[in-house]
Amino acid sequence: DQQVKQNSPSLSVQEGRISILNCDYTNSMFDYFLWYKKYPAEGPTFLISISSIKDKNEDGRFTVFLNKSAKHLSLHIVPSQPGDSAVYFCAASDKTSYDKVIFGPGTSLSVIP
């Protein structure tokens, strides 16, 4: 069973507009969440994280929102740039499982110039 879900395999957005990538989880013990970006032929790159004690974390053009009651998080990219075209992975972990990390299947974002 998938504990971390990214239900949109792909997303296309116009340059300059907002990109919203969604992630749902089932394990209520998850207390730390991360987003990674991956370009082809490269390893993932850490983007941003959020602890369950917060509901929002911002870093430049990237903002992650966490809705614990809905077990949902989202990554907002504003404004979107062509260089943001990549696969985005949501990941989650919980301290009680020694921080074993579970990744979602990824969403492929295409930013159209």
Partner 1 sequence: KAGVTQTPRYLIKTRGQQVTLSCSPISGHRSVSWYQQTPGQGLQFLFEYFSETQRNKGNFPGRFSGRQFSNSRSEMNVSTLELGDSALYLCASSLGLGIRYEQYFGPGTRLTVT
Contacts of 92 (CB under 8 A, 6+ apart): 3, 4, 25, 27, 30, 32, 33, 34, 101, 102
Comparing CB distances to partner 1, the nearer of 80 and 93 is 93
Nearest approach in angstroms of CB 16 to partner 1 is 29
Nearest approach in angstroms of CB 49 to partner 1 is 8
Comparing CB distances to partner 1, the nearer of 77 and 91 is 91
Residues that bind partner 1 in the complex, under the rule CB under 8 A = 32, 34, 41-46, 49, 89, 91, 93, 98-106
Is-contact 67 50, C-beta < 8 A? no
Q: State the sign of the Cα–Cα–Cα–Cα dihedral 90, 96, 99, 100.
A: negative
Comparing CB distances to partner 1, the nearer of 10 and 14 is 10
